Structures are given as C-alpha cells and as structure tokens.
C-alpha cells in the first residue's frame, strides 16, 4: 500500500514537471510571437510616420510651388493672360491691370480678348492678334508676334508676344484637347529704341568715315600733286607757288588729324584743360589774324564788340578757348556769302571773388538752319545736313569738340538760327581772375616770339630721332640759327654720346618712341648720371605723342618741355630762345 502511494506521487510529480516544461515552451513561444508583433507594430508606425512626413513634405512643396508661382505672376513685368477654351480671360498679371488702367484683376477676368485689348490696339494689330490666336488654337502650335499697344495718351509701346496653347496633360491618348490659350507680351520699347539708335549711330559713323576719307585724301592729293609739279617746274616763282599750296594743304590735313585726335580724347574721357594765365585780348588778336585772311578773300565785313568790364588777364586754357572761337568764326566765314556780315561779341555775365563768367557769340548773315538741322549740330559724327560736307567741306567734328571744351570750362553752347536768316552761336565759359601784377609779370616771363631769336653760334645741341628724314628736316630748319647740331638715332646712343662729354651739350631735343631705349628712359638715365650738367641740361621732347598724358610722362621722366610733330618752326625758335638765351 505504501509503495503504491509512493508510485502514485512520483507519477504526479512527473506529470507536473512535464506540464511545467510544456508551459515554459509555450511561454517562450508567446514571448517570440509578442516580440514579432511588437516589431511589426513598430515597423507599421515607422511606415505610417514616413508616409505622413512624405505627405506633409509633398503638400509643403506644392504650397511653396503655388506660392512662388503666385509671386511670379503677381510681380511679372510682362503681360500674361490665360484664356479658357471659350475665349474668356481666366487670369491676368497685375502688370496688365496697372498698364491697362483697370482697378483690379476681377475687372478683367471673365471678359473676352476683344473687350479688354481693343481699346489699346489699332485695327490692323487687333485683327492680326485675333487671327493668330485662332490659328494657335486650331493647330495646337505656339507662335510669336510683335504688337504695338497704345496704353497711355496714344503713345506707342512695342511688345514682343508669344501665344502658347494650353493642353490638359491628364487626358489619355496622342491627341490632347486644347484647354485654352496663354498670351505673354514683354515690353521691348527701350530695346527697340536702343537698337534703332545704335543703327543710326552706325550709319553716322560710316558716313563720318567716308567724310574723313574725303577730308584726308583731298589735301593729300594736293600735297602729292603739288610735290610732283614743284619737282618738275624750273621756274622759281612757280616752284614757290607749289610749295605754298603744299604748306596750305598740310596745315589743313593737320587740322583734320587734330580734330580726330580730339574726338578720340572726348570718347575716351581723356580731354582735359591746361590752364595758365593769359591775356584775353592777345588771344583774340591771334584768332583774328588767322581768320581774317579768309574773310578778306570773301570781302566779308567783320565787327568785334568786347565788354570793357572783362578782365584783361584770365586764368584758363587759352588754346582751347581760341580753338572754340576759331571754329565758330571759320564756320561763319564758310557759310556766309561774299560781302556778308560776321560779328563777334564778348560780355561779362558775372564776377564773384576771383572767378568770372564770360558770354560770347558769333553771329553771321549766312544760310541759317532749320530746327531739325540744329538738333544734330553738336553730335559727334554728324553735320547739320548730309550734303554739307560735300558743298562746304569740313569734318563735322568742330562743334562737338567745342561743346565738350566749354563743358570742361563750366559753360555751355547753343544756337539761334532760322533758314535763310543767318545763325548766332552763343556760349559761356568760366575763368579765374588772377592778380594783375602777377599776370603782367607772367606774361613778360613766358612770352617768346621768333623775333627774339638771335644767333646761337657756339651752342651745341644733341638731336635724337630714329627717323632719318626727321633729322634731316630739323637740321635744315635750324640751319639759320648757327647751332652746332649732333645727332643720335636711339636712346642708348643719345645717353652714351652725352655721358662721354656732358659739358659739351647746351640742349637736347629728344624723340619719345625709339628702338633700343626710348626717349623717356634715356632722359632718366641722363638725369641719374650725377654730374651738374646732367642735372641741368635742358631736354625737350620733340615727338608725335601729343596727348596730355604723353606730356605728363615727359615731365615725370625729367624733361623740361615738349614740342609736338609736325614741327612748327616758330615754336622751335621760341623754345631755343627760352632755354639758350
């Protein structure tokens, strides 16, 4: 009995252990399933969150696109119209609302194209626009066209237009139904005007170049022709006559070249004034002496009226002022018939402290000008009338140059004229008013004329130029001065010659552009020799480089003065008198 109970208890314990093991396995299985379930739930949450974020991002991007599109359309500087398939406006830019004078976009939406655009188009443009719109809708193909609108007070405004069919991309198949029309018009008024101005300027420059060719070739023809005649003639008087005509043609050619150089300075912004103290009356006398020959040839009557209140001595650029007056008097002489009248007048407009404003005018009884001709007068590359240069000659640059000179002088120039009743060119300029005693002294110290030049026997000059004919011309022209002239053909040779015997040379005439070493470097090397004569010997540039910056380079290099080519003998003699007397 006892054994039976013991066996029964062991079996129960064994069953309990078996069930316990089974429960543990089931528990582990449940834990695994629970872990899988939690993992699936986490993945589902992650996927859901990702989807939500993507949806939010997509919505945000869509909203941003719509916002930027709205900003683009609202602020577009172009006319943009969306038309439905029925031909009515569904959208328009604020630019069009303001341009057409509507209060708000809703005043435009729902109306037909004809209703909103007809008031701003002429009949031809309206019919063309409607025709092209229908064609775009029928063919489903875009097209471009230029349209002229009249939005304000009948003023024409040019627009470049583009008509584009709008298709519904959500439709299936090869043939998409047209959902309407988009019109875009961009204002090209300024672009078109600029293009026309550029074309006009190009034509003016072409005409200018043709005129320049004529103005340059004419005196060149005279120079070459008269040179041949002078070589052939045996009679001395006829030779001299040929030489005189060569000289006149050369002077005219030099004037043309100077005008071209002045225009080059103006266009590059490099024209500047060289102000000095000068005698106003003496400057006018020099102008009169040049222009009076032409007036006498045409038997013209010339009157001069000078306000006595104008100070005799002024501070300014007398050469540029003389250039302006000479140009105006030359024009008056050219366009005034024989026995006509020409008047020059100068009066004091204002005097404050050490500054005065002078107004001058040149009046003639010549051919006069129309208002249209006057509008072209002061433009570069243009003359008042296209045939003027052929009938009267001239480059057409003088007035443009004069205008810029007077602007630099703080003044202006204008014209009063009628066709057949003569012209009056008026201009103003500002000048400094120096103390009389200083001006008088300056005039006595700086004025040298050829009559003061005497005999320079015993003086030695070093002439430096790399062109043989330039050396030959200078030696021949200076022969009457009895100067002893030695030559060098480049800067290095000039330096070596001077360095070998500095005390021998009283003056150096130095070209700028030469091989081996140029004139500027040669001057610096001479100044750096360290001898008293090297430091004080006058060195004068004699060069075709005549711009203000060229003269400044000469001074910076250590030169004392400047002579421009072609050589003017009076200027050369004045320099000799200044530095050798």
CB 79 within 8 A of CB 60: no
Count of residues in the chain: 581
Tokens found for residue 173: 């198949």
Tell whether the model's pLDDT for residue 7 goes beyond 60: yes
The pLDDT-based confidence of 564 (bands split at 50, 70, 90) is confident
Quote the pLDDT of residue 316.
93
Q: Each residue of 400-413: pLDDT tens digit?
A: 889 999 999 999 99
The pLDDT-based confidence of 3 (bands split at 50, 70, 90) is low
CB atoms within 10 A of CB 439: 19
Average pLDDT score, the chain: 83
Quote the pLDDT of residue 448.
38
CB 510 within 8 A of CB 523: yes
Secondary structure class of 209 (helix, strand, coil): helix
Quote the pLDDT of residue 520.
94
Quote the pLDDT of residue 68.
66
Tell whether the model's pLDDT for residue 453 goes beyond 50: no
What share of the chain in percent tops pLDDT 90?
Answer: 32
CB 532 within 8 A of CB 508: no
* Candidate from 11-25, 100-114, 227-241, 495-509 with smallest mean pLDDT: 11-25
Strand pairing of 341-352 and 355-364? antiparallel
The pLDDT-based confidence of 569 (bands split at 50, 70, 90) is confident
CA dihedral 403→407→408→409, nearest 10 degrees, is 100
3-state secondary structure 342-379: EEEEEEEEEEECCEEEEEEEEEECCCCCCHHHHCCCCC
Quote the pLDDT of residue 305.
94
DSSP line for 474-501: HHHHHGGGT-EEEEESSHHHHHHHHHH-
The pLDDT-based confidence of 446 (bands split at 50, 70, 90) is very low
- Cβ-based burial of 327 (10 A; exposed 0-12, middle 13-18, buried ≥19): buried
CB atoms within 10 A of CB 178: 16
Tell whether the model's pLDDT for residue 504 goes beyond 60: yes
Average pLDDT of the residues in 492-509: 95
Q: Each residue of 127-169: pLDDT tens digit?
A: 999 899 888 888 888 999 999 999 877 788 999 999 999 876 5
CB 495 within 8 A of CB 520: no
Quote the pLDDT of residue 170.
56
Average pLDDT of the residues in 362-369: 91
Alpha-helical runs (H) found in 84-188: 94-100, 113-117, 123-139
Tell whether the model's pLDDT for residue 311 goes beyond 70: yes
């Amino acid at each position: 009995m006892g054994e039976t109970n013991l066996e029964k208890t062991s079996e129960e314990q064994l069953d309990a252990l078996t069930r316990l093991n089974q429960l543990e396995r089931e528990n582990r299985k449940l834990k695994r399933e629970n872990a899988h379930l939690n993992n699936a739930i986490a993945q589902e949450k992650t996927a859901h969150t990702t989807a939500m974020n993507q949806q939010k991002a997509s919505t945000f991007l869509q909203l941003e696109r719509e916002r930027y599109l709205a900003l683009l359309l609202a602020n577009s500087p172009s006319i943009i119209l969306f038309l439905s398939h029925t031909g009515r406006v569904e959208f328009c830019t604020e630019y069009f609302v303001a341009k057409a004078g509507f209060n708000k976009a809703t005043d435009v939406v729902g109306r037909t194209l004809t209703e909103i655009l007809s008031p701003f188009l002429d009949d031809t443009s309206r019919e063309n626009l409607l025709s092209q719109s229908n064609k775009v809708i029928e063919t489903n193909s875009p097209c471009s066209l230029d349209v002229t609108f009249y939005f304000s007070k009948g003023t024409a405004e040019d627009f470049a237009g583009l008509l584009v069919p709008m298709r519904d991309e959500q439709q299936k198949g090869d043939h998409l139904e047209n959902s309407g029309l988009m019109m875009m018009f961009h204002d090209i008024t300024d672009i078109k005007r600029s293009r026309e101005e550029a074309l006009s300027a190009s034509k003016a420059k072409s005409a200018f170049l043709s005129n320049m060719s004529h103005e340059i070739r004419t005196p060149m023809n005279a120079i070459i022709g008269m040179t041949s005649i002078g070589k052939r003639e045996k009679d001395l008087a006829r030779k001299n006559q040929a030489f005189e005509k060569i000289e006149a043609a050369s002077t005219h050619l030099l004037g043309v070249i100077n005008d071209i150089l002045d225009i080059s300075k103006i266009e590059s912004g490099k024209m500047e004034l060289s102000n000095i103290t000068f005698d106003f009356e003496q400057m006018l006398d020099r102008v009169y002496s040049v222009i009076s020959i032409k007036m006498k040839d045409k038997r013209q009557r010339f009157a001069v009226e000078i306000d006595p209140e104008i100070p005799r001595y002024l501070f300014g650029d007398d050469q540029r002022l003389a250039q302006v007056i000479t140009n105006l008097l030359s024009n008056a002489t050219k366009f005034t018939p024989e026995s006509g009248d020409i008047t020059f007048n100068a009066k004091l407009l204002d005097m404050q402290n050490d500054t005065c404003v002078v107004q001058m005018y040149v009046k003639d009884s010549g051919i006069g000008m129309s208002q249209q001709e006057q509008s072209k007068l002061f433009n570069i590359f243009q003359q008042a009338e296209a045939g003027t240069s052929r009938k009267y000659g001239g480059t057409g640059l003088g007035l443009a140059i004069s205008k810029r000179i007077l602007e630099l002088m703080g003044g202006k120039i204008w014209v009063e004229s009628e066709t057949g009743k003569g012209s009056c060119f008026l201009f103003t300029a500002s000048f400094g008013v120096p103390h009389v005693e200083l001006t008088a002294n300056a005039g006595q110290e700086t004025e040298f004329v050829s009559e003061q030049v005497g005999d320079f026997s015993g003086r030695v000059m070093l002439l430096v130029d790399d062109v043989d004919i330039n050396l030959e011309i200078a030696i021949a022209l200076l022969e009457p001065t009895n100067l002893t002239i030695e030559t060098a053909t480049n800067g290095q040779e000039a330096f070596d010659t001077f360095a070998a015997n500095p005390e021998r040379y009283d003056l150096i005439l130095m070209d700028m552009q030469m091989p081996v070493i140029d004139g500027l470097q040669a001057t610096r090397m001479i100044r750096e020799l360290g001898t008293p004569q090297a430091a004080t010997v006058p060195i004068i540039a004699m060069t075709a480089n005549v711009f203000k910056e060229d003269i400044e380079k000469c001074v910076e290099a250590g030169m004392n003065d400047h002579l421009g080519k072609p050589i003017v003998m009076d200027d050369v003699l004045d320099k000799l008198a200044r530095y050798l007397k």
